Chain A
Amino acid sequence: MDKVTVKICSGTSCFVMGAAQIQALEFTPPADIADKIEIVEVRCMNLCKDIKTKYNKGPFVMVNDELIEEATFEKVVTKIREIIKAQEG
């Protein structure tokens, strides 16, 4: 089974809006998903600059090819579990 790819934007605005906390996935991931994910750290993905809405929707995280706006550690982990469940199901 392919690993779930998680791209965490570490551009300035994503970082201050909470990407730093999501990076914990890399170093202390929940045990059930630890060996099923691959974290890819990326510099600014430029998503903050082409937002359609007025305000910044960061931090941005891509889980496989799904974009999560206003991402949090919990939101990302939930999405990863959903994908794994779908793959296993």
Chain B
Amino acid sequence: MNDSLFIEIGTHQCQKDGEDCFGDTVFSKKIPEEQRIISILSDGLGSGVKANILSSMTTRMAMKFVESNMELLRSSEIMMDALPICQVRKISYATFSIVDSELGGKTRIIEMDNPPHMFIRDFKPLTVKCREISSPKWKDRTISVSQLTTQPEDRIIMVSDGVTQAGLGNKKYPLGWGRQGCMDFILKEIRKNPYISAHDLARAVVHEALDKEVEHKAGDDISCVVLYFRKPRKLLVLTGPPFDEDKDHEFAELVANYDGKTVICGGTTANIVERELCLKCEIDKTSFDDKIPMASTMEGVDLVTEGILTLTEVYRMLKEGIDKNKNNAAVRLAKMLLDSDKIDFVVGTKINIAHQDPNLPMELEIRRNIVKKIFRLLQSQYLKEISVRYI
């Protein structure tokens, strides 16, 4: 992929208070062979299961159409025709916002009835000219299409109306937080931390919206998607001793020569790097946790952790969410993975014979398997660029 640009997509959602599932759906997909990323946010009519079905159908259909470059108006008509009709309101309806972006910079934004996207460059909001089209069949629904060329450090933010209408009816926000209120908040956050990740920004927006609501209860589904265009942040993860001891030095040198952040996962792995590069490695007691062995510090290495238990916990958190109140080695590693765009795993395949004792817990996985699970998840769910090398 183009080394000059990377798109980080961060999403955060909160369902309407009292509902069991999200009425908004977010679906993003990377098409590596076209160097293209498509991200869709849809808000289904109403809330709960019904809205979830409407918005899920909309995102899936829209993804297929956009991906295969189908004509826009025709695609939208098919989508509107296909949605089931609500028994109460007698209409079929789900809004959508689509960002279709090529890594070269060419980006198209297609929107119908969601709050308009926000485009931020150099700490300022930019208004992008849009073209409006409507179908003769569905005259009251206008689709707007904007085109722009993105640069590093640009951000595109899509929100559902749960964000802009947060606090509606509340004394302080009788008309809701509003798009402007939300925009001001985002600009403030970016000024505070110019490199804020897409994930953190999306989470901050949703939390701020919830703060506006009466008793912090979401009056509607609240969703925020942030696309952050930037130069890729690289991370090297070294885990496991090489199968052939003769490769130990070559293996350790990878850390010394890497042009990005580095992590070592595994006690023996750390011992090898420590020995081969003559570095000193010390336990970092601030990472104490009774479930995860402590992290260590080593000069020139950003993080040193234990291997299998930490990786297993990282995998769990990548699936279920990061424990915010902890600062153990696994939380640190998971955050580093999420903050990176290109991650290079180098996996030593030597089997640790001490782990094969049947008295040890079943959870002690073989390294290759747990690393495989982690990188697949990072690729499919977090759209990271991953390379894996076994040594």
Contact = CB atoms under 8 A, between A and B. Distances in A.
Interface stretch (A37-45, A71-79, A80-88): A37-45
B194 to A, nearest CB: 37
Interface string A1-37: 0000000001111011100110110110000000000
Nearest to A17: B360
Contacts of A17: 359-360
A15 B309 contact: yes
B43 interface: no
B308 A12 contact: yes
A49 B309 contact: no
B354 A43 contact: no
A44 B283 CA distance: 11
Interface string B252-283: 00000000000000011011000000000101
A10 B288 contact: no
Contacts of B271: 43-44, 46
Contact of A55 (B308, B355, B359): B359
B10 to A, nearest CB: 32
Contact of B267 (A16, A26, A44, A51): A44
A17 B271 CA distance: 21
Given A20-B290, A27-B288, A55-B359, A13 B354 contact: yes
A56 interface: yes
B285 interface: yes
B352 interface: yes
A13 B306 CA distance: 11
Given A12-B352, A56-B354, A41 B306 contact: no
B354 A48 contact: yes
B268 A44 contact: yes
A10 B270 CA distance: 13
B364 A43 contact: no
B353 interface: yes
A41 B294 contact: yes
> Which of B283, B291, B357 is packed against the most chain A CB atoms within 10 Å?
B357
B219 interface: no
Interface in B303-360: 306-309, 352-355, 357, 359-360
Which size class do A's interface residues fall under? 20 to 34
A34 to B, nearest CB: 16
Contact of A56 (B306, B308, B357): B357
Given A41-B283, A43-B281, A49-B353, A16 B364 contact: yes
> Which of A13, A20, A23 is packed against the most chain B CB atoms within 10 Å?
A13
B359 A10 contact: no
B13 interface: no
B283 A43 contact: yes
A61 to B, nearest CB: 15
A48 B356 CA distance: 11
B283 A16 contact: no
B364 A23 contact: no
Contacts of B197: none
B361 interface: yes
A15 B305 CA distance: 13
A13 B355 contact: yes
Interface string B353-389: 1110101110110000000000000000000000000
Contacts of A27: 288
B355 A42 contact: no
B28 interface: no
**3 closest cross-chain pairs (CB), A and B:** A44-B267, A48-B354, A41-B283
